[in-house]
Chain A
Amino acid sequence: MAKLKTHQIKEAWAGSFEALFHKDIDSVNQRLTEECEKVGKRFFRPFGTVNLAWPDWMEDLRRCHEHYRMAGIRIYPSYQTFDLDHPEFPQLLQEIAKRGLILQIVGDMEDSRNHHPIVSTRDVNMEALLDAAKKVPADKIQLLYWNHRVNNNLMTRIIRESRILFDTTRVETSGGLEKMIRGHLWNGNATPVPVERILFGSHAPYFPVEANLLKLIESPLTLAQATSIMNGNAQQLIKTVS
């Protein structure tokens, strides 16, 4: 928290690394909530998790919303051993929409070339997400560290056919944010990403906070664009949570 505050971060939506491997998901969510309360009340906002591969995820979701008063949840399909074409995934989206929660979907936690050799994560088919998201009023879905899982063609479809949001964590190229917004990548043109759909993400403590803050400087953004990414878009999103 001290590190985040040094860099003037005012609020952090926090997940738990335990969500990746734990089977007793509710205990993870409980510990996350308690830790956020204890260490950074009104600074850390807990984002619990559910795992579609484990039984009774609906109850875990209910407790996230009703018991822990979370604004949203974060899922990690590549670690949690379910795919986005899982038969219960549409039901998750419906429940999320019904409860007015934010759903964050993590593409990767780190570069797969760095994994410990005994860890073999799954592929994530984001096409399936798009198909499912079009069938429910899913306006609060955000992708985190998504870049290895979304190619240019799929990105175009996501931009045009959904309201899915993106984080900055792994936007990785010189002037990357501006290039996303303008749709001018180094290797050719792409569909421009509206700045309203980009939210700041630090990936701290795994990544230095400076990495994503400096992207706001490296790209020649306007003040309005920078402010939207830094907090404006997140504030708009969190306001909509019931």
Chain B
Amino acid sequence: MKLTPEPFAINPKNYGLPNLEELKAFRIWDSHYHGFYTGGDPIQQHWDMLYYVQRMGIERIISVDIGGTLQDPLDPKPHDQIQWDILEKDKKLISGIIPIDPGFPEESCAKMEKWIENGACIGIKYVGGNKRGITCDHPNNDTIIRYAKELNAAIYIHTWMKVGGIPRMPGGGNLAGESTPLHVAALARRFPDVQMICGHAGGEWELAAKAVRPFENVLFEFSGADPHSGSVDYAVNLLGADRIVWGGHGPSRAYATELSKVLDADLSHEERLKIFGKNYRRLTKNIFQQKGTEISL
């Protein structure tokens, strides 16, 4: 692992790009950090990823892979204790949200108690599919959402509308239990006083933004899908800049890709600040405060 990133070979300013100082000034919070994604060695991968976190001037990373795996979010794994220790030790840089499984609400709440109420984590993540095929709008989720509200925990919901099925339609190719933005809308209607993030812009930002538009308690996040010019402009026009949060999705996605979505958009500096980090800080300010960390917006 290289500890200190080398200077850029080319001067970003010559190519209409922000330099490192300007990237840092955006105060970028990566709300979708997959450094601990399990496949190989999640801990080593995290250490290797920190090189790129530093290189691109990211202020804070929020891991979405804390405790277990995305496939088995409720099964403890050997890396759990190491993650716990990293979250305790590197509080200035890294926070975590825990994958839960709405097919098992009681067990999910037990995991929340351990990692959020009694640990360093700040929220939950609905992953892309689960064993019992339970989407986020199912009544099973009410216990989970109520508890998340009590904890002031962030709620991130992976959503996609994969084209597939017979007849082919957006969402028809989703995995069992993989929520769509329409499921998020149904959940948001039931819990109007709970904020939640519609993740990956539904993989289909034109439809997804429309689906969640009426629900002011739904934030919108773009990571993990190809960068489409105009997508962030569209979402800002429809939802407002206060409802967009930013995620990096590395290492499976390049920071270059995710940053470009916001840099390409026709936004003011203040709007970019909101999207890159301020909105997520606003969302999580209370839970950070509960844990003794003061967050400056």
- Are A188 and B40 interface neighbours, CB within 8 A? yes
B223 nearest CB across to chain A (Å): 12
Q: Is B160 an interface residue (CB 8 A)?
A: yes
Bound CA–CA A173/B258 (angstroms): 11
Choose among B39, B45, B48, B257 the residue that contacts A211 (Cβ–Cβ < 8 A). Answer: B257
Q: Is A213 an interface residue (CB 8 A)?
A: yes
Q: Is A126 an interface residue (CB 8 A)?
A: no
- Are B227 and A208 interface neighbours, CB within 8 A? yes
Q: Is A113 an interface residue (CB 8 A)?
A: yes
Q: Mark B209-236, 1 if CB is under 8 A from A, else 0.
A: 0000000000000000111110000000
Q: Is A210 an interface residue (CB 8 A)?
A: yes
- Are B8 and A217 interface neighbours, CB within 8 A? yes
Bound CA–CA A80/B206 (angstroms): 26
Q: Is B188 an interface residue (CB 8 A)?
A: no
- Are A208 and B167 interface neighbours, CB within 8 A? no
A224 nearest CB across to chain B (Å): 8
Give the chain B neighbours of A37 by CB distance below 8 A.
none
- Are B251 and A223 interface neighbours, CB within 8 A? no
Q: Which residue of B has the minimal Cβ distance to A212?
A: B256
Q: Kindly identify, within residues 110 to 151 of chain A, every residue whose CB is under 8 Å from any CB belonging to chain B.
A: 110-118, 120
Give the chain B neighbours of A174 by CB distance below 8 A.
49, 52, 250-251, 253-255
Q: Is B176 an interface residue (CB 8 A)?
A: no
Q: Mark B245-282, 1 if CB is under 8 A from A, else 0.
A: 00000111111110111011000000000000000000
Q: Kindly identify, within residues 147 to 168 of chain A, every residue whose CB is under 8 Å from any CB belonging to chain B.
A: none
Q: Is A54 an interface residue (CB 8 A)?
A: no
Q: A174-B52, A220-B2 are in contact. Are A110 and B40 (CB under 8 A)?
A: no
Interface size on A, residues (CB 8 A): 45
Q: A117-B163, A217-B17, A218-B255 are in contact. Are A208 and B9 (CB under 8 A)?
A: no
- Are B225 and A226 interface neighbours, CB within 8 A? no
Give the chain A neighbours of B17 by CB distance below 8 A.
7, 210, 213-214, 217
- Are A173 and B254 interface neighbours, CB within 8 A? yes
Give the chain A neighbours of B264 by CB distance below 8 A.
208-211
Q: Is A234 an interface residue (CB 8 A)?
A: no
- Most chain B beta carbons < 10 A, residue from A110, A117, A204: A117
Instruction: Report, as a range, how many residues of chain B touch the other chain.
Output: 35 or more
Give the chain B neighbours of A33 by CB distance below 8 A.
none
Give the chain B neighbours of A206 by CB distance below 8 A.
228-229
Q: Is A215 an interface residue (CB 8 A)?
A: yes
Bound CA–CA A117/B168 (angstroms): 5
Give the chain B neighbours of A120 by CB distance below 8 A.
168
- Are A186 and B40 interface neighbours, CB within 8 A? yes
Bound CA–CA A99/B195 (angstroms): 61
- Are B169 and A117 interface neighbours, CB within 8 A? yes
Give the chain A neighbours of B6 by CB distance below 8 A.
220
- Are B253 and A213 interface neighbours, CB within 8 A? no
Bound CA–CA A225/B9 (angstroms): 9
Bound CA–CA A218/B261 (angstroms): 15
Bound CA–CA A204/B8 (angstroms): 24
Q: Is A21 an interface residue (CB 8 A)?
A: no
Give the chain A neighbours of B173 by CB distance below 8 A.
113
- Are A223 and B52 interface neighbours, CB within 8 A? no
B237 nearest CB across to chain A (Å): 17
Give the chain A neighbours of B250 by CB distance below 8 A.
173-174
Q: Is A56 an interface residue (CB 8 A)?
A: no
Q: A117-B167, A174-B52 are in contact. Are A217 and B12 (CB under 8 A)?
A: yes
Q: Kindly identify, within residues 36 to 78 of chain B, every residue whose CB is under 8 Å from any CB belonging to chain A.
A: 39-40, 45, 48-49, 51-52, 55-56
Choose among B51, B167, B256, B261 the residue that contacts A217 (Cβ–Cβ < 8 A). Answer: B256
Q: Kindly identify, within residues 185 to 215 of chain A, every residue whose CB is under 8 Å from any CB belonging to chain B.
A: 186-188, 204-215
13 examples of A-B residue contacts, CB within 8 angstroms:
A117-B163, A172-B252, A172-B254, A208-B227, A210-B17, A210-B259, A211-B260, A211-B261, A212-B256, A213-B256, A217-B12, A217-B256, A220-B6
Other than the given A207-B227, A217-B12, 17 more pairs (CB < 8 A) read A6-B16, A8-B16, A113-B163, A117-B168, A170-B226, A174-B253, A209-B260, A210-B260, A211-B257, A213-B256, A214-B254, A214-B257, A214-B259, A216-B10, A220-B5, A222-B9, A226-B10
Q: Which residues of A are at the interface with B, using a C-beta cutoff of 8 A?
A: 6-8, 110-118, 120, 170-176, 186-188, 204-218, 220-223, 225-226, 230
